[in-house]
Structure 1
Amino acid sequence: MTSVGSIEMETDRNGQTEIEDDGEELHDELECAKRIPPWTRQITLRGVIASFVIGGIYSIIGMKFNLTTGVTPNLNVSAALLGYIFMRSWTKMLRKFRIVTVPFTRQENTMIQTCAVACYGIAVGGGFGSYLLGLSKKTYELAGVDAVGNSGESYKEPGIGWMVGFLFVVCFVGLFVLIPLRKILIIDYKLTFPSGMATAVLINGFHNQGEKMARKQLRGFIKCFSFSFLWGFFQWFYTGKEECGFSHFPTFGLQALKNTFYFDF
């Protein structure tokens, strides 16, 4: 009885310790939420690393969509979700090792989401999946030297120097156009900006309701991603030469397939 009682007491202590840790963490976050830190403290090293990882993954996804369908979905919400899960797991792991860390705030979550979206926005908006890499001499030769519109100066070899300058001009024009426009619409006219408002409500929900809803959403995200990945892996085994396999399935018959009517699974 003594050993059983001691085990129960130890269990209660562990459970109480976990509750106290969660309560302390929530209290720290609420205190940080009340006093908004300056922008220099909102940009942290861990946030930059998380933004780099999530932005790199989303750049690959955006390029895939851009090269196949030509339509890139809005990934703002999922970027905020992954940023929350990534940072929450990191801070919890450090707390288990008794390492004091700065509380994860809404502002840092927003910074991670913004940087991740900017990464895949540059990959897609910069033309990497459409025209930028198509300026090379090899593409020029494949299109045909004697093709209409082609001349001796119709190509531009990719280079880090001019591509960085080009991306600054194309992708950062919003700094001079959208920021003043949003100031007028949101601050002066007090209009609700749809995407920004939706992301803010989502991030606030993460930090107010805790991890329960975030974990539920992450499970759904992982299930859909796993199914899509496994289905693509399965199709890869049954893809032969061009216009063969599940990517060119003759749903309407072989005669329709010859006229490019097919279904892509």
Structure 2
Amino acid sequence: MSDANYVVEVNETNINDIVQMSARVPVLLDFWADWCEPCKALAPVLDALVTKYQGKFILAKVDTEANPGLCQQLGVRSIPALKLIVQGQLAGELNGAQPASEIEKLLQTVLGDAEGEPEQPDENDFFAQIERARGMGAYDQAIDALQSAIAEDSKEIKYQTLLSEVLMDVERLEDAQQVLDNVTDEKAKAPALARLFFLQEFLCFDSAESLQFRVAQDANDMEARYYLACNCVLAGEAEAAMELLLEIVQKDRSYKDDGARLALLKIFDMLEGKSVVAKYRRRLFANLH
């Protein structure tokens, strides 16, 4: 990818997407303005770091003149200002024009050193590049890269399962299903199949808010609980989803022909290897017996 793909413009309409992006790749917010001479001096320093780190972080530029409300919300009192966001949280910040060495110190708290990397990307670099593309919303590029990789090595299951995930990102569910149908390793494709299941389940509902209202109003509304759990899974709130599904298991095993228990098992597939799975497996077992 070119350096331009590692730089995004931020405004009040896409800031939430940028914060979500930080779950996949660190985001360095750069607050600047046209009239700010130190900002102009800092710009080429940041551009050089973007080139050096080649997508290990995303530079997200915020025009303070165009986004005063956003600056106030994020506590920006003077510019230039840099804020490093990781997993949706502030991981560090710098104020004023800074030399490259100081900015690198900030970046290296989460990235490590850019020096000493192999010139030729290995397989892990390829997957990391795909994840960065997803984080930036460059889905077409990610799909093209994965399809090319599959054409070269059709036996590599990781390429196919990741392609299905990217297709799901853009709601091409039938295409994602077709890709997964060609994967014979049931265990390898289980997490992707689980996500596809919840996407398909939630298609008939437009609003999580309406489901939350129904849950609050009626303790016996199993449908609202079930579909709110589906939404929670897709929003990355797996524990909240499992709590809702356990309630249904406790109150009405017959709902959707034991659908809550089956949905829990699919979440376990999605979270395979994480400690929280053991906790909820025990709770499910206790409820069933």
TM-score, normalization by structure 2: 0.27
Structure number with higher strand proportion: 2
The structure having more radius of gyration, on CA atoms, is 1
TM-score, normalization by structure 1: 0.29
RCO comparison, higher one (Cα < 8 Å, 6+): 1
